[in-house]
Structure 1
Amino acid sequence: MLMERIASGSQWSLLVIASLILGFLFQAFHVPAALLLGPMIVGVLMGLLGATVRIAPVFFKIAQGILGCMIAQSLSPSILPPLLNDWPMVLLVLVATLLASGLSGWLLVKFSSLPGPTGAWGSSPGGASAMVAMAGDFGADVRLVAFMQYLRVLFVATAAAFVARITLGDSASAAAVIWFPPVDWRFAATLLLALAGVWLGPRLRIPSGALLLPAVVGAVLHSTETMTLQVPEWLLAMAYTLIGWSVGLRFTRPIFRLALQTLPQMVASIIGLMLICGGMAWVLTQVLHVDMLTAYLATSPGGLDTVAIIAAGSNVNLGFVMAMQTLRLLTIIVTGPAMAKFISRSAKPSSSMP
């Protein structure tokens, strides 16, 4: 393959330069999450062309920890009243998402050659990395689950960013960015919090713990004014880029070939789920009086981290988005095994994948 003939050092150089060009080009056109989408698209193209470079899992988790600290700055007790006051609607949206993902997985297994557990876990709209980690324990093909999850992340991230661009116009990213603000000891403490989440998350068996732990602990520290978190733009840009590369480089040609025979069904399943979640977003705007973009991001079936990045660059209610996304992640984790068993037993695929 083309990229395999290029030395590893040259691949890294190409990855960095192309990502910078595309990322800043997107930023020039005020595309939300430009520094996520640019590296992600470059990673996909290089992965399909045979690139051998990869982002070490620990760096992906550190990037999630930094993202968690950024999210913490927007989480406050003020997001709870809307969720508690309208808990029936919040519960209805969670259940509807669960049923929609279950139907999506059932139809995918029914009308493709995917094994039941693989289709079920690949269709679950929780945190992509958490779904991949859990899938192997329930008899699913982890390679295909990862492909399906990150294909949906790619679709959702791209769609959400452009919906934000269309909705907000030039105001989506028009604010001047201060790349290198002054920092003090709180910057070191913020980094320590991010690293603590990376270390503790797996040990406490918390799904997406590298992101959620710094977000929750940081929100308590930030909202009580115990400590103001400092997450400068240059650090966020590095985190966005690492997450984009981690997702994009997973799209290797061998995995793509393996998934090719069921790719149309996968794409149809993803688009169907996105449309259903978009409908639920409209319902949320009518009941909870949140703007359409906030509701859209809150219900989008993408990865927790990528949705957070898009929300952060879109002037929406980030706290509400993260509260809804986290509730859905926890719901999927609890119900996922039972859903996978049900789909495996009730949906009878027409053939078996070799």
Structure 2
Amino acid sequence: MPDLRTVFRWIALLAASAFLAAALNLARFPAALLLGPMLVAIVFGIRGAGLALPRPLFLAAQAVIGCLVAHSITPEITRTIVDDAALICAAVCVTVLAGAILGIILTRLQILPGSTAAWGSAPGGAAAMVAMSEAYGSDPRLVAFMQYVRVAAVVLTASVVARFFVDGSALPAVAAAEPAPALSVLATLGIAALGAGLAMLLHIPAAALVGPMLLGAVLHTTGIASVSVPGALLDAAYAGIGWYVGLRFNRETLRAVWHALPGILVATVAIIVLCGSWAWGLTFLLPIDFLTAFLATSPGGLDSVAIIAVGSKADVSFVLGVQTLRLFTVLLTGPILARWIARAAPGPGA
């Protein structure tokens, strides 16, 4: 059983998260229920609270978000990918290339080892990148820190950008306030469990999110089942993902990466600016708004970007089409890029 101090810390985390989320919601920030808990958890983690969200709860939160996304997906997502395939592939390639270039720079400057810099700079799902980096011999602590620093920065930046493109009626908390039929909720929970389970058995990347998203989208758009996520469950999923990301920041990790921290921060800002510039360029090539382009090219986690996209005026189909394609591209090309970037390391006499 957890000791009393741990219980009190969780209560304090919950209370502070609820307060900040409410304040951000009043300020009309999209994804306030993700952003508030994440920022509070970062403070708790760095101050040595010693808390960590169990991974099964994080996977459950991802499955709920997958069902939320499935509810928003229409057949247009397929048509969008087919109709704009060339530009979508270009958007994916630009982001992946930007991550590779930053990895090479970090390696050449000897800020990080080559393979660690490659996986840490890769703009894919943070959890998937950490898992694959460990399998390929990289330092998972450094990769996790780089990935979650970028996720936190992307969520914060995207929320600020979305704040100026969204009205108060589009916030997630408002959208989730409608009562959901009990049968529909049970069907949704079944889709979440079955989709995540099948995706894990098939070793699909980001299985807990992608499985329910794909299965739910098929069943929902064909009318076989109705996907409906109750507000309380959605709020808990938002907070769970925010806590999981935020609590990954702790004193031990900071000490381990202290020498690399300035380079990591500069690299994080650089890739966000590069992707933001490409997003601005896409608005001249496609009939999409800047928010949609920014979220589609954002080098953050698929789950967090999906939350912001669903809770704002963005074109969810386009955003998820680009993000999903990029995730699979990074997973397929990651080992090759890691070896390529590792070769960029200067020799002993350099």
TM-score (norm 2): 0.95
Question: How many residues were matched structurally?
Answer: 348
Task: Give the match for residue 55 of structure 2.
Answer: 57
Q: 1-side partners of 2:42 and 2:218: how far apart?
A: 37
Q: Which moved more, 1:108-117 or 1:339-348?
A: 108-117
Task: Give the match for residue 37 of structure 2.
Answer: 39
For 2:28, the aligned partner's letter is H
Task: Give the match for residue 301 of structure 1.
Answer: 299
For 1:123, the aligned partner's letter is S
Task: Give the match for residue 277 of structure 2.
Answer: 279
Tell me, yes or no, if the aligned pair for 1:71 and 1:319 is still in contact at 8 Å: no
Tell me, yes or no, if the aligned pair for 2:16 and 2:40 is still in contact at 8 Å: yes
Deviations 1:305-341 (A, max 9, x none): 1101111111211121111100000000000000000
Distance 1:186 1:177, change over 3 A: closer
Q: 2-side partners of 1:151 and 1:54: how far apart?
A: 17
Tell me, yes or no, if the aligned pair for 2:116 and 2:138 is still in contact at 8 Å: yes
Q: 2-side partners of 1:54 and 1:67: how far apart?
A: 20
Q: 1-side partners of 2:200 and 2:257: how far apart?
A: 29
Query: Which segments of 5 or more consecutive residues in structure 2 lack a partner in the other structure?
Result: none
**Which among 268, 278, 298 is matched to residue 266 of structure 2?**
268
Task: Give the match for residue 69 of structure 1.
Answer: 67
How far off its partner does 1:172 sit? Answer: 5.1
Report matched runs for 1:322-341 at 5 Å: 322-341=320-339
For 2:96, the aligned partner's letter is L
How far off its partner does 1:297 sit? Answer: 0.2
Distance 1:258 1:313, change over 3 A: same
Q: CA RMSD in A?
A: 2.0
Task: Give the match for residue 86 of structure 1.
Answer: 84
Tell me, yes or no, if the aligned pair for 1:180 and 1:234 is still in contact at 8 Å: no
Deviations 1:46-92 (A, max 9, x none): 00011122111000000000000000011122122332222222222
Q: 2-side partners of 1:342 and 1:225: how far apart?
A: 47
For 1:333, the aligned partner's letter is L
How far off its partner does 1:203 sit? Answer: 2.3
Tell me, yes or no, if the aligned pair for 1:114 and 1:349 is still in contact at 8 Å: no
Q: 2-side partners of 1:290 and 1:350: how far apart?
A: 49
Distance 1:185 1:167, change over 3 A: closer
**Which among 106, 109, 125 is matched to residue 108 of structure 1?**
106
Tell me, yes or no, if the aligned pair for 1:111 and 1:349 is still in contact at 8 Å: no
Q: 2-side partners of 1:91 and 1:307: how far apart?
A: 18
Tell me, yes or no, if the aligned pair for 2:119 and 2:133 is still in contact at 8 Å: yes
Q: 1-side partners of 2:167 and 2:72: how far apart?
A: 23
Tell me, yes or no, if the aligned pair for 2:80 and 2:317 is still in contact at 8 Å: no
How far off its partner does 1:204 sit? Answer: 1.6
Distance 1:40 1:10, change over 3 A: same
Task: Give the match for residue 246 of structure 2.
Answer: 248
Q: 2-side partners of 1:93 and 1:184: how far apart?
A: 41
Deviations 1:87-128 (A, max 9, x none): 222222222112111001111121233111111000000011
Q: Which moved more, 1:93-102 or 1:249-258?
A: 93-102
**Which among 127, 131, 134 is matched to residue 133 of structure 1?**
131
Q: 2-side partners of 1:201 and 1:216: how far apart?
A: 10
**Tell me, what secondary structure is at the counterpart of 1:261?**
helix
For 1:227, the aligned partner's letter is A
Task: Give the match for residue 230 of structure 1.
Answer: 228
Task: Give the match for residue 7 of structure 2.
Answer: 9
How far off its partner does 1:235 sit? Answer: 1.1
Q: Which moved more, 1:175-184 or 1:294-303?
A: 175-184
Tell me, yes or no, if the aligned pair for 1:54 and 1:249 is still in contact at 8 Å: yes
Distance 1:295 1:187, change over 3 A: same
Tell me, yes or no, if the aligned pair for 2:173 and 2:235 is still in contact at 8 Å: no
Task: Give the match for residue 195 of structure 2.
Answer: 197
**Tell me, what secondary structure is at the counterpart of 1:231?**
coil
Q: Which moved more, 1:195-204 or 1:54-63?
A: 195-204
**Which among 178, 183, 188 is matched to residue 185 of structure 1?**
183
Deviations 1:127-184 (A, max 9, x none): 1111011001111100110010000000000000000002335465398455361422
Query: Which segments of 5 or more consecutive residues in structure 1 lack a partner in the other structure?
Result: none
Q: 2-side partners of 1:350 and 1:110: how far apart?
A: 12
Tell me, yes or no, if the aligned pair for 2:176 and 2:229 is still in contact at 8 Å: no
Deviations 1:225-275 (A, max 9, x none): 111111122111100000000000000101011111111111111111111
**Which among 142, 152, 155 is matched to residue 154 of structure 1?**
152
